[in-house]
């Protein structure tokens, strides 16, 4: 059996197009564009590429992109003062501070300073808490994109056995919460798990987010399972995921490639969260298709 290859680029393009339509209605209703502020500290090359791509996607969706670049040696108070200004600015609906931050800055202090109702990354503790207890808030973009792909491929996830590999605050933990919200039976495995394979073998849904190339072996995967590979690992062989793709494609029912799977969905979900934030702040109805 050969798996269905989940085309993340196509799913992301469709989501961006739906958001673009929603944005047109928002502009017609309010006379202004949704605004996303992105803050980049320092010169990290990968971060600069991400920020540029976020800006392009924001503008392509009909929204305003406001970029703030601060030097690598900026002090924490200056960064917090910028966050305060963005919190108070009525034209800004979403605030994203690109991570990682230089070592002189306490990342947690910065994330916690962002108004939770403008926190389109979903990293603020208030949004983590809202997700955990089932209140509307903002969900981190990468796991949100994963659950959208899963629902598009599988339909209802109710009752499925799901395993999440990795327990980061950005992917693993919110991913597990989202799958629970979809009524999956969720197991989170991590670096101290005694036997990862035994859990993966029982899973209908596998989400891999560990950052180790080829960590998930093909013989762990239950035939027909749906595999979502969040890993983006730069190796001599190029970009590879956390799953042994060549092997897994022969056993799984559906699988995301790397690149072209989860990655494109992350930015599309950021655009979606910014649109949703603008609608909530202005009392405009959110298009249910989004
Ligand atoms: N750095 C890597 N991924 C992300 C992300 O999704 N949001 C932010 N703010 N920084 C990141």
Express each pLDDT in 177-209 by its tens digit. Answer: 999 999 999 999 999 999 999 999 999 999 999
pTM recorded for the entire structure: 0.97
CA separation for the pair 290, 287 (Å, rounded): 6
Report all structural domains of the chain as residue ranges with CATH numbers, in order of start.
31-117 (3.40.50.10860), 141-263 (3.40.50.720)
118 has catalytic annotation? no
Among candidate residues 93, 98, 173, 229, the one labeled active-site is 98
Interval 239-254 mean pLDDT: 98
Catalytic residue among 54, 118, 173, 222: 54
Pocket of ligand 1 contains residue 154 by CB under 6 Å? no
Find how far residue 269's CA is from the centre of its chain: 7
b/e per residue 69-107 (b: at least 16 CB within 10 A): ebeeebeeeebbebbeebbeeeebbbbbbbeebbeebee
In the prediction, which pLDDT does 190 show? 98
Closest CA to 147 of 177, 125, 189: 177
Does the annotation mark 54 as catalytic? yes
Q: Is the pLDDT of residue 1 over 80?
A: no
pLDDT digits 0-9 by tens, 34-92: 999 999 999 899 999 999 999 999 999 999 999 999 999 999 999 999 999 999 999 99
Indicate which atom in ligand 1 lies nearest the CA of residue 142: 6
204 lines ligand 1 (CB under 6 A): no
| Distance in angstroms (rounded) separating the CA atoms of residues 214 and 208 | 10
Q: Say if ligand 1 is within 6 A of residue 37 CB.
A: no
Is residue 13 within 8 Å of residue 44, measured between CB atoms? Answer: no
- Helix 141-154 to helix 8-30 angle (10° resolution) is 110
Beta bridge partners of 163: 187, 206
**Is 121 annotated as catalytic?**
yes
pLDDT of residue 289: 87
- Taking only the tens place, the pLDDT of each residue in 260-276 is 999 999 999 999 999 99
pLDDT band at 106 (very low <50, low <70, confident <90, very high): very high
Q: For residue 170, give the ligand 1 atom closest to its CA.
A: 6
């Amino acid at each position: 059996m050969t798996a269905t290859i989940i085309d993340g680029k196509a799913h992301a393009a469709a989501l961006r197009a739906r958001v673009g339509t929603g944005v047109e209605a928002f502009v017609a209703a309010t006379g202004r564009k949704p605004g996303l502020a992105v803050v980049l500290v320092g010169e990290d090359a990968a971060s600069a590429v991400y920020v540029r791509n976020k800006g392009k996607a924001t503008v392509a969706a009909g929204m305003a992109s406001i970029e703030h670049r601060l030097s690598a040696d900026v002090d924490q108070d200056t960064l917090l003062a910028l966050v305060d200004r963005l919190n108070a600015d009525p034209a800004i609906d979403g605030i994203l501070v690109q991570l990682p931050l230089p070592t002189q800055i306490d990342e947690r202090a910065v994330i916690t300073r962002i108004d939770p109702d403008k926190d389109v990354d979903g990293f603020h503790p208030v949004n983590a808490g809202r997700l955990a207890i089932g209140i509307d808030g903002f969900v981190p973009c990468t796991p949100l994109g994963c659950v959208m792909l899963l629902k598009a491929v599988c339909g209802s996830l109710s009752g499925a056995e799901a395993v999440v590999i990795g327990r980061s605050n950005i992917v693993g933990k919110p991913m597990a919460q989202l799958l629970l919200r979809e009524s999956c039976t969720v197991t989170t495995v991590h670096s101290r798990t005694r036997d990862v394979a035994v859990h993966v073998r029982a899973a209908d849904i596998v989400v891999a987010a560990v950052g180790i190339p080829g960590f998930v072996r093909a013989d762990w995967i239950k035939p027909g399972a749906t595999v979502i590979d969040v890993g983006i690992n730069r190796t001599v062989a190029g970009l590879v995921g956390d799953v042994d793709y060549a092997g897994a494609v022969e056993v799984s029912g559906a699988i995301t490639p790397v690149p072209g799977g989860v990655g494109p969905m992350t930015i599309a979900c950021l655009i979606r969260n910014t649109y949703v934030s603008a609608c909530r702040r202005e009392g405009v109805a959110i298009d249910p298709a989004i």
